[in-house]
A = this chain, B = another copy of it.
Amino acid sequence: MKVVVTGGAGFLGQRLIGALCQRGRLTDAAGRERAIERIVAADQGRCGAPVADPRVSYATGDVADASFIGSLLDGDTDSVFHLAAVVSGEAERDFDLGMRVNLDGTRWLLEACRRQPQAPKLVFASSVAVFGQPLPEVVTDSTMPVPQASYGVQKLAGELLVGDFSRKGFVDGRCVRLPTVVVRPGKPNAAASSFASGIIREPLAGVQAICPVEPSTGMWMSSPSTAVAALVRAHELPASAWGSLRSLNLPGLTATVAQMIEALRQAAGEQVAARVRFQPDEQIARIVRSWPARFDTARARAMGFPQDADFASILRAYMAQYAPAAIR
């Protein structure tokens, strides 16, 4: 079978492609388990050290370009993982770019799916950013999303389209609302949540990190490996498990910035934890505060989606891979 991963050169895309190569098999829309023969990783650029596997090829282009998307699927695609997006901070700064990539890009991808001879499976990486104030203390599966930033609006509109294209039988879509994924290695990005990785990653690398939000700010989080496992789980479940509700809040865990820094102090020492400096940025803080920090994800748990134990274990897994020397 052929699998397309948009945003395939990104951090999560590369992790997902690695996991798919390792699995070797996926269940297609007809319920048959099949060997993965090809993975096409589509992105606007290349990454430093891409997953090297004979099954993986890389395509460079603009996901908001309908003809590029059409050429990727090319009538022979069984499954799509749609991760490409303009992140929250950037979508807020450049409204038109966000609309083009996050909304139009998703729509052209859905249209390309519709043109395949067999409706492919589509896993759409949505976000808890679809939620905004006013919010209950704990967000449940029946909480109404009222996004308060363009990124969340575009993701939610994309979910609606995935849902309707699925209802019409044009695609077999599944939307998962990812928690903030921490700890991301590499460089900061333009997501409003970028600091959540930065306040761990930079201190461990001996660099000062700036935290733009209050220590008491809570966030709903997931480790990279749990996020990737959730994307695969979303793909593997039969359509009947989704029914007419094609969007799902994923399990995660709640941690405040203060708790994250305390975990860093315990794992790597006072000197490392002291490298976080608080410097409020109201534009970022406003977006992050509008996101919910606590969920009851009963539906996702009943559907067998994985969950991290606690932030300390997320931190340990990151340090083991990227900063083993800093472990006390």
Contact = CB atoms under 8 A, between A and B. Distances in A.
A244 interface: yes
A160 B156 contact: yes
Interface stretch (A52-60, A147-155, A250-258): A147-155
A144 B147 contact: no
A17 B286 CA distance: 41
Given A144-B142, A244-B148, A161 B157 contact: yes
Interface string A17-41: 0000000000000000000000000
Contacts of A157: 157, 160-161
A187 interface: no
Interface in A129-181: 132-134, 142-148, 150, 153, 156-157, 160-161, 163-164, 167-168
Contacts of A164: 147, 150, 153
Contact of A148 (B142, B150, B156, B167): B167
Interface residues of A, number: 23
Nearest to A163: B153
Contact of A244 (B95, B133, B145, B163): B133
A161 B154 CA distance: 8
A148 B143 CA distance: 18
Interface of A: 95, 132-134, 142-148, 150, 153, 156-157, 160-161, 163-164, 167-168, 244-245
Given A147-B164, A153-B164, 10 more contacts: A95-B168, A132-B244, A143-B144, A144-B144, A146-B244, A146-B245, A153-B161, A153-B163, A157-B160, A157-B161
